[in-house]
Structure 1
Amino acid sequence: MSFFIGGDVMKANVLIIGLGLIGGSIARAIKKEYPEVTILGYDRNTDTSLLAKTLQVIDEVVLTLQEYVHICDYIFISVPVKQTEEMILELGQYDLKKDVIVTDVGSTKQTIVLIAKDVFSGRGVTFIGGHPMAGSHKSGVVAAKDHLFENAFYIFTPLEHEDTNIERLKTLLKGTKANFVIMTPDEHDRIAGVISHFPHIIAASLVHQADRYDKENDLVRPLAAGGFRDITRIASSNPSMWRDILLQNREVLLDLFDNWLEEMERIRTFVAFGNGDKIYDYFMNAKNFRDGLPTRTKGAIPSFYDLYVDVPDYPGVISEITGLLANERISITNIRIIETREEIFGVLRISFQNEDDREKAKLCIESNTDFGTYNG
């Protein structure tokens, strides 16, 4: 086993701590752009590390951090936010290479950056907080892709003015094809709270409300299987992860709770007084803002690339559609019948990895069948 030691990014040693979807995808993107880089991988689950090497996501398995961190030019901490804090403290116990860049991928930044400042200050170590705003509805190193972050926003929250080292990190991550943005930890956590953290709370709250009504009326669950299930998808996220995120971003979220209560009181007042014009304006303003959001870039919550197909209920209709897509080599990630009844059209929801695949599928189906389609 040989390692490249030096400042040249082409011959750098990169350590990925945490070999899940994000860590694995970062490794793949770096390796694709710089084949000579040595990717070292560490995961608390040794089987995951061994799998990552089998899949050629990493070059070498690291079983003991202390044995290798001193040769690493870059260290990515790609674990949940609470474990990130613990890992920073652990790294602080070791002799790290001079001028090493340590970064993370956590979705909260203020606490992590403060801990890193305390641990690494005065040691020649540069910590740059990071948050690649991309993900997938699949998890684990087996789902890692070198293009996962393409067109996604990749946020950097450096400890201080670190132009040179940020450029080094950008160069290393060139293969991600992400849009790099620099902001303060406070700015990041407030924005993430608005567009990601709080929406997850709302989704979970809607599900709790449905659960309460389900105990009173057994029609709630079957009727919620359509649109309600779709708009609350993010409520199925990892509970442990969201517990830690909410605790980490507590102050921001407390402010958002207050703002939300005010917002709900505002629309409640419109309804209570039967003010139709105000209600109309409320929904119109929301529609205008939502319709103006970018459609081709990735945001903090993974996008759903769904195509809905109106299909008649006859034997073989699903295999007919999947066969058409297979012939065009269009991959699907999921397929589900929302409703199929005798003599009426049902709705088939097909999920894809990206917008291009969805549009190709739409054209393919419409060109070869009489079925109607529409985007999710």
Structure 2
Amino acid sequence: MTNIVVVGLGEMGASLAKILTAQSDNYVVGVDMSEQSLRYALENHLVSATNSRLRDVASQADVIILATPVTSIEKSMQQLATMSLKKSVIITDTGSTKRDIMAVAEQVLTPMNMKFIGGHAMAGTHQSGVTFANENLYRHMTYFLVPSSISESSQLQTVLQPLAAKFMTIDVARHDALMATISDVPHIVAFSLMNAATTQLGPSTMFGQYVAGGFKDTTRIAASEPKLWADVLLSNKEAVLASQTQLRKQLDLFAQAIENNDDDALIALISSARESRENL
């Protein structure tokens, strides 16, 4: 029997718990501050048991999965460093940025000889909460694993095999630069476009009936959870700012072409983007 503790029963954590609980040789404990979330998880068989305090269940865990916002993950690691845990316990997380998390792990967990492996799946939606638990959320999705100085990624893959994800080992710098461009800045674009539209046109209730697929597709992720994304953007600050600089350059190129009535430049810019999108 593998004792697994999942901290944070939002969409990502609840989905993990549901998938792992379905395996008869796992005993999954869900930890969350919300009594309502804990009750829902237990009543809907997403977990084997629940608790509102990590400290109460950590000592018996073989695997601890921290599935909360980045700043909360860091606090949990600091707490775990003060607890009496199994020598063989594996600690991992689901944070979408890794630099700060891995730094904290090396600082507080490595001296305690605790095994930590960074994790981040390219899964999830703009929805949040335990009610969006989905047993297929991770299926065929890339799941990045970032080993620490005292733990190899292969130690975690066996436990997470039921997710049917595509596991890939990656280093911290590469991961965070990649996420800044393909995840973080797209969210900023969605937030900015939505805010620009309401600034120019008024409340979305005033123009929502007129929007078509392009606007809806581009702003879908603007419905994401604010605190989570504030944490993500601040924890990946350098890479996000660098990616934003590249985006501004592209926007400037479009602005210059439009201002100069430069049809050829616009066609070239759009054609380049179209070709890249078709090859995506």
- Report TM bin, short chain: over 0.9
CA displacement 1:122-141 (0-9 Å, x = unmatched): 32211111111111354322
Asked whether the 8 Å contact 1:30–1:175 carries over to 2, the reply is: yes
| 2:218 is equivalent to residue 204 of structure 1 | no
SS at match of 2:64: strand
Partner of 1:261: 248
Partner of 1:132: 121
Partner of 1:80: 69
Asked whether the 8 Å contact 2:70–2:95 carries over to 1, the reply is: yes
In structure 1, which of residues 1, 7, 29 is the aligned counterpart of residue 19 of structure 2?
29
Q: Which amino acid is the alignment partner of residue 239 of structure 1? A: P
Q: Offset at 1:148? A: 1.2
Query: Matched residues in 2 for 1:219 and 1:146: separation?
Result: 38
Please show how residues 38-53 of structure 1 align to structure 2 within 5 Å.
38-53=27-42
CA displacement 1:59-91 (0-9 Å, x = unmatched): 122243323211211000011112111111111
Q: Offset at 1:16? A: 0.7
Q: Offset at 1:189? A: 1.1
Percent identity of the aligned residues? 30
Unaligned 5+ runs, structure 1 = 1-10, 294-376
Query: Matched residues in 1 for 2:191 and 2:11: separation?
Result: 24
Query: Matched residues in 1 for 2:69 and 2:147: separation?
Result: 19
Distance 1:151 1:275, change over 3 A: same
Query: Matched residues in 2 for 1:107 and 1:267: separation?
Result: 31
Q: Offset at 1:146? A: 2.1
Partner of 1:249: 236
| 2:211 is equivalent to residue 224 of structure 1 | yes
Asked whether the 8 Å contact 1:129–1:159 carries over to 2, the reply is: yes
Please show how residues 130-209 of structure 1 align to structure 2 within 5 Å.
130-160=119-149, 162-163=151-152, 166-209=153-196
Distance 1:234 1:138, change over 3 A: closer
Q: Offset at 1:215? A: 4.4
TM-score by length of structure 2 reads: 0.92
CA displacement 1:290-313 (0-9 Å, x = unmatched): 1111xxxxxxxxxxxxxxxxxxxx
Unaligned 5+ runs, structure 2 = none
TM-score by length of structure 1 reads: 0.70
Query: Matched residues in 1 for 2:25 and 2:207: separation?
Result: 57
Tell which has more relative contact order, 1 or 2 (C-alpha 8 A, sep 6+): 2
Distance 1:276 1:146, change over 3 A: same
Q: Which amino acid is the alignment partner of residue 232 of structure 2? A: I
Q: Whose radius of gyration is greater, 1 or 2?
A: 1
| Greater helix proportion | 2
Query: Matched residues in 1 for 2:258 and 2:36: separation?
Result: 56
Asked whether the 8 Å contact 1:99–1:124 carries over to 2, the reply is: no
Asked whether the 8 Å contact 2:64–2:92 carries over to 1, the reply is: yes
Asked whether the 8 Å contact 1:149–1:176 carries over to 2, the reply is: yes
SS at match of 1:130: strand
Distance 1:188 1:223, change over 3 A: same
Distance 1:208 1:64, change over 3 A: closer
